[in-house]
Amino acid sequence: MFCKLSVSLAAGFVKFPTCVTSRTLRTVGPSCLCRHQQHQSLSSESAGVRVLYDGLCPICVTEIRFLHFLNRNQAGKVDFIDIAKPGYDAAKYKDVTYEMAMEEMHVIDEKDEVHRGVPAFAVMYGAVGLNWLARLMMWSPVRPLMDKSYAVFARNRLKWTGRGDECTTGRCEKKTN
């Protein structure tokens, strides 16, 4: 039912093909809406998607909680990795350092490829079943707006959440006045 609802919602914005091509699958992750291929994309052949997020960012945590909720019945499909925890080890995550992950969103797909910025969000959304949103974000007329909007957010996220530039290196806490 969610698949049909997603297709209906997406169709209201733009006419999408019924299925995603293999090229799009590489770009936005497992996002085929065709029933026969969706079962194949949910198999346990892959290592799963790994989402690197800032666990001290209230905006980020709110979104991750929602995505975790959407992913609740698919154990191992998506792992949410809090880069703010003291034990975060870049070597385990394709050498994405804390500093790199604080600069912009990073997601590692099932094929162990690192995606940054808007493509990272598309992979993440596709992995939790928001295929229509993933494809909309990557659609060529929408993508420039998404890139610009995300660049503004990424540049100001620390300030907007009460943390300063010192959070880009080492570890940081929310500032108190």
Q: Give one DSSP letter per residue of the chain, joined into a string.
A: -HHHHHHHHHHHH----SS--HHHHHHH-S----HHHHHHHTSTTS--EEEEE-TT-HHHHHHHHHHHHHTTTSTTTEEEEETTSTT--GGGTTT--HHHHHHS-EEE-TTS-EEESHHHHHHHHHHTT-HHHHHHHHSTTTHHHHHHHHHHHHHHHHHHTT--GGGGSS-------
pLDDT in tens, 105-148: 999 999 999 999 999 999 999 999 999 999 999 999 999 999 99
How many domains, in total, are found in the chain?
1
- Residue 73 forms part of a structural domain: yes
pLDDT in tens, 72-107: 888 778 999 999 999 899 999 999 999 999 999 999
Residue 28 confidence (pLDDT)? 42
The residue segments making up the domain with residue 144 are 2-30+46-168
- Residue 59 forms part of a structural domain: yes
Listed in sequence order, the residues at least 6 apart from 76 whose beta carbon sits closer than 8 Å to its beta carbon are: 44, 48
pLDDT at 168 over 50: yes
- Residue 18 forms part of a structural domain: yes
Residue 162 confidence (pLDDT)? 83
pLDDT in tens, 56-73: 999 999 999 999 999 988
The pair of structure tokens assigned to 22 is 């293999």
- Residue 72 forms part of a structural domain: yes
Read off the CATH number of the domain in which 142 is found. Answer: 3.40.30
- Residue 80 forms part of a structural domain: yes
Beta strand 49-53 with 106-108 is antiparallel
- Residue 144 forms part of a structural domain: yes
Q: Report the alpha-carbon distance of residue 85 to residue 92 in Å, rounded.
A: 14
- Residue 22 forms part of a structural domain: yes
- Residue 173 forms part of a structural domain: no
Q: Report the alpha-carbon distance of residue 49 to residue 123 in Å, rounded.
A: 8
